Amino acid sequence: MSVTTVRLQPELEEHLDALASRLQRSKSWLINQALSEYIERQTLEQSRWQETLKAMEAVAQGKVVSGEAVHTWLQSWGSPNELPPPKAGQ
């Protein structure tokens, strides 16, 4: 495991000390947890952004499903003649 030095603002250091004491965990453990959660959120956010860009490109290319087609499909749910999901361009 590597060692990284971080300068903390005094009030952040106080909160970190208090939290570490309350949870009976080391400051290092808390910082590792916080960074892991932050990195996971950022990775998920980046993935969602890429999906959004792909969806916007699909819309720009006209690859969309009409509201009417979606409504008809939803109305068929639970019926003996349930329809398959509509595809773009229908």
What percentage of the chain exceeds 90 in pLDDT? 94
Q: Band of the pLDDT at 44, cuts 50, 70, 90?
A: very high
* 38 neighbors 49 (Cβ within 8 angstroms): no
Q: What's the pLDDT score for residue 88?
A: 87
d(CA 61, CA 59): 5
Looking at residues 52-76, what average pLDDT do you find?
95
User: Which are the contacts of 26, defined by CB distance < 8 A and separation ≥ 6?
Assistant: 20
Looking at residues 11-40, what average pLDDT do you find?
97
**CA-based nearest residue to 66, from 52, 38, 86:** 86
Q: What's the pLDDT score for residue 90?
A: 61
Quote helix, strand, coil % in the chain, to nearest 5: 65, 0, 35
- Residue 89 reports pLDDT greater than 80: no
For the chain, the structural domain boundaries read 10-61
